[in-house]
Copies of this chain bind each other. A is one copy, B any other.
């Protein structure tokens, strides 16, 4: 057999990782197959030995993005926390200026949500599964209330989306800061 057994698998994973970052940063449509392959140290032609087409890569890139961003923002270092303590810590991460200015390492929902809505069913199915799982993971941490978790996720996503689109650092900070406030406190 030519090449080590896991060689192709490693290459595949490298393409998915680079794509996942480029899609979140530049957008799906705006990132061409040759740029993608170049970022993985390969050339255009090899792409179709790994993926049926570009949309199939988007589906895998979404899975990878959710894996990475859920771990980074909702779990790593937050293992012991629940309820309000977890909520404050997770909100601080999701609504941080770091997350605002580094979409390539962040949640795929604000960066790719609109493009996913216009993507083939295969892509939307992956997004659906992962977004729902993310919502449920939030619910688990805040006393199991899925409706409250839904509101929280929606607010996080909207805040990051708007903060990134806005061309005014102070306004962006103001938006993130306002949304960091817990619902409980917000209502007095």
Chain A residues in contact with chain B, CB under 8 A?
Answer: 26-27, 29-30, 103, 109-118, 121, 124-125, 127-128, 131-132, 146-148, 150-151, 153-159, 161-162, 164-168, 171, 174-175, 178-179, 181, 183-184, 186-187
Contact = CB atoms under 8 A, between A and B. Distances in A.
A70 B94 CA distance: 28
Nearest to A108: B165
Contact of A155 (B117, B146, B151): B151
This chain: copies in complex: 2
B109 A111 contact: no
Contact of A157 (B118, B124, B147, B161): B161
The prevalent SS among residues of A at the interface is: helix
Contact of A124 (B114, B154, B159, B167): B167
Contact of A186 (B114, B128, B148, B158): B148
A168 B116 CA distance: 13
